[in-house]
Amino acid sequence: MSVHEDKPLPPPATILGAIDAQARAAMVVAQKEVGAIVLRETPRASGQTAAALKPRLGRTATGVSLLVGAPRNRRHGKVTVADVVRWVNRGTGVYREGFGPKHRIRAKNPLRRMTLPGGTKRYSVAGQHPDHFMQRIRDAGTAQVEQAAEQGAQNAAREIERLI
| pLDDT on residue 13 | 83
Predicted pLDDT at 147: 92
Mean pLDDT, range 146-164, rounded to an integer:
87
Residue 1 binned pLDDT confidence (cut-offs 50, 70, 90): very low
Question: What does pTM read for this prediction?
Answer: 0.78
Question: How many percent of the chain have pLDDT more than 90?
Answer: 46
pLDDT at 3: 55
User: 83-89: long-range contacts at Cβ-Cβ below 8 A with a sequence spacing of 24 or more?
Assistant: 84/46, 84/49, 85/49, 85/53, 85/134, 87/128, 88/43, 88/46, 88/49, 88/128, 88/130, 88/131, 88/133, 89/130, 89/131, 89/132, 89/133, 89/134, 89/135
